[in-house]
Chains A and B, each alone.
Chain A
């Protein structure tokens, strides 16, 4: 750079100027820097103190923050716990809700099911037709089975039908609709419906609106009322019938009233003019009414007199008031009594028999109003009946006197001929010795009296010994043992009888020079007994035994009893016999016979006091009585009472005879 010094001076000058400017600027900057340094030092101190204060403040803030953090931590824990609790509560509540929901749902389903089942049961079991229709178009949406069956609806195509299809009268549908619109429902409208089988029935129709889901439906029920309609119709008929009947009845009542009036007049006349006494008697026994015939029967001048005088029929009329009480007792039991016979007092005190027909008239409550009756005088009839009864009794007695009782019974039973065979009968004949001579001293009446007296005694003996008297032939007496009723010991009984007869005979007083003596014959064997003929018949015996017995008597001796060998053999152990020897019996040749003389004592029945002697007072007493009776009897024969037959003996006499028959055996 040195080559050019002028230029170099200039240039140096310039460079010195420039360096001087630089030194001035540096001097200024140094001053500034010194100033800045001072300011900075001063400022650093301030900052330093400020920093220190700030630091202290931060320290305390940090402490506070730490405290706040701990508090926050506590709060967080509480919140978390609460959160857990709330979660648990939420869970519990949710689960609880689920349980309830489930329970309610199942309940709702069950209730719905039950309700549906109930509806189904009702709709399927009811005889009422139930039909659901859509309100808008009127098509059927449901019909119960009663409806399906009765109306013939096809269940698959319900909506093909309208309710009006089944109405007999098309007008009825309009009627139902009108009523439904006016009142909101239809109740018991009676219409006619056609069944599937063509039958037309009356039904009571009701329509109720139903809201099912969105649509509106109508439930129509149809209740069959044909039977009621029918009943109503027949009731109407019946009512008409009743009216007719009532009218007819009225006419009849009118006719009847006329008839009754006539009848009343007629009965009044009958009452007044009746032969029978007709009356009404109050429960306390006085006449409420009586007809003239009653007054006449009871001997009163008029019904007025009768009703005035008789104030108590029980005591005043009835001979036996008990009879009246009997009548009332019967009436209370049977209400009416017929042919009740009793004795009544007439006005004059005389007694008549009456027959009454009486009815008891009672009120509904059972209280006696009166006795109503009629009575008839039957005094005459009673007497006739009594007479008839006596006659019949006497006839029977007579028959019994002729015939043994069993034979009489058989004869009464219309047996024409009676013939019986008996294998072992004891037959006895007894005859009064020299009767012809005896009777020659007596009048015929005395003869009859004597025979009656003797034979009556024999009859009593026979009855006592249960023997059958067959007959008497003149002065002969025939008796049999063992016929017609079998007895234990016919031979013994006949022997006792024969001995007793001989004894009795001795007690009769002699007639003139002739004592009463008997000749007796006995045999034993088979006989035939019976009745032959139809008029004046008698019970009789036939056979060889009878003939031989008769021969024993005729060939015997006075005061003796002749018996055959057969009879002897039968009784030889019990009775005493004496051999007579052989005699010639006509038609039989020689027969050995015996005398029966007594009974062996050891066989004697102890019927009497053994101390009694042979001549007892009893014997005499019997015979005296017997005689007295026979006389009385003969005197009073026509008036004799048939009730007392000749054979009847008072009990003491029978016992006397019993004593007597046993006495005999000791002889």
Chain B
């Protein structure tokens, strides 16, 4: 199944099916959970049939509260699958990632967090 990447002037979400990696870049500041649905769909699409999944947010410089909620819910969904190993790749140079990624790990203690 071909997943549709999202690419706008402000942000981009790219799914590399071979390495099961989703790279999110730029500035994500969509208005409300509803508007995050297409992104959630891409994430859930990637989750199907996957045993390992990596989400790279190193170059995601800005993510608003609806965004972090969406990401949290996705982590819960992964946790419920029980058979998928999730890795989050972030950067210590981006202030929000230093705090919020750890909170995601609390939702799913088996989540691997990498600051690269």
Q: Is the CB of A96 within 8 A of B76?
A: no
Given A85-B107, A99-B100, A92-B95 contact (CB < 8 Å): no
Asked if A75 is at the interface (CB within 8 A of a chain B CB), the reply is no
Asked if B56 is at the interface (CB within 8 A of a chain A CB), the reply is no
8 Å CB contact of B99 from A85, A88, A95: A95
Say which size band chain A's interface belongs to: 10 to 19
Give the residues in chain B near A100, CB-CB below 8 Å: 62, 64-65, 96
Give the residues in chain A near B103, CB-CB below 8 Å: 88, 91-92, 95-96
Q: How far is the CB of B81 from chain A (nearest CB, A)?
A: 15
Q: How far is the CB of B38 from chain A (nearest CB, A)?
A: 20
Asked if B7 is at the interface (CB within 8 A of a chain A CB), the reply is no
CA–CA, A88 and B96, complex, Å: 16
Pick from B64, B72, B99 the residue with the most CB of A within 10 Å: B72
Q: Is the CB of A93 within 8 A of B69?
A: yes
CB-CB nearest in chain B for A82: B76
Given A96-B63, A96-B65, A100-B64, A89-B72 contact (CB < 8 Å): yes
Asked if A645 is at the interface (CB within 8 A of a chain B CB), the reply is no
CB-CB nearest in chain B for A102: B95
Q: Is the CB of B96 within 8 A of A96?
A: yes
Q: How far is the CB of A79 from chain B (nearest CB, A)?
A: 14
Asked if B43 is at the interface (CB within 8 A of a chain A CB), the reply is no
Q: Which of B71-114 contact A (CB under 8 A)?
A: 72-73, 76, 95-96, 99-100, 103-104, 106-107
Asked if A641 is at the interface (CB within 8 A of a chain B CB), the reply is no
Give the residues in chain B near A89, CB-CB below 8 Å: 69, 72-73, 76, 107
Give the residues in chain B near A99, CB-CB below 8 Å: 95-96, 99-100
Residues of B in contact (CB 8 Å), total: 17
Give the residues in chain A near B68, CB-CB below 8 Å: 92-93, 96
CA–CA, A108 and B11, complex, Å: 22
CA–CA, A95 and B68, complex, Å: 10
Give the residues in chain B near A184, CB-CB below 8 Å: none
Given A100-B64, A100-B65, A93-B72 contact (CB < 8 Å): yes
Q: Mark A95-118, 1 if CB is under 8 A from B, else 0.
A: 111011011000000000000000
Q: Is the CB of B96 within 8 A of A103?
A: yes
Give the residues in chain B near A88, CB-CB below 8 Å: 72, 103, 106-107
Q: Is the CB of B106 within 8 A of A103?
A: no
Given A100-B64, A100-B65, A92-B104 contact (CB < 8 Å): yes
CA–CA, A391 and B106, complex, Å: 129
CA–CA, A92 and B68, complex, Å: 8
Give the residues in chain A near B95, CB-CB below 8 Å: 99, 102-103
CA–CA, A88 and B109, complex, Å: 12
Give the residues in chain A near B96, CB-CB below 8 Å: 96, 99-100, 103
CA–CA, A255 and B65, complex, Å: 94
Give the residues in chain A near B69, CB-CB below 8 Å: 89, 92-93
Q: Is the CB of A95 within 8 A of B100?
A: yes
Q: Which of A72-92 contact B (CB under 8 A)?
A: 85, 88-89, 91-92
Q: How far is the CB of A86 from chain B (nearest CB, A)?
A: 9
CB-CB nearest in chain A for B68: A96
Give the residues in chain A near B104, CB-CB below 8 Å: 92
Give the residues in chain B near A103, CB-CB below 8 Å: 95-96
Q: How far is the CB of A101 from chain B (nearest CB, A)?
A: 10
Give the residues in chain A near B76, CB-CB below 8 Å: 85, 89
Give the residues in chain B near A93, CB-CB below 8 Å: 65, 68-69, 72
Give the residues in chain B near A95, CB-CB below 8 Å: 99-100, 103
CA–CA, A402 and B100, complex, Å: 127
Ranked nearest first, the 10 interchain pairs of A and B with the lowest CB-CB distance are A92-B103, A96-B68, A89-B72, A96-B100, A97-B65, A99-B96, A93-B69, A93-B65, A99-B99, A88-B107
Task: Point out residues on B near A: beta carbons under 8 Å.
Answer: 62-65, 68-69, 72-73, 76, 95-96, 99-100, 103-104, 106-107
| 8 interchain pairs, CB-CB under 8 A | A85-B107, A88-B103, A92-B72, A93-B72, A96-B65, A96-B68, A103-B95, A103-B96
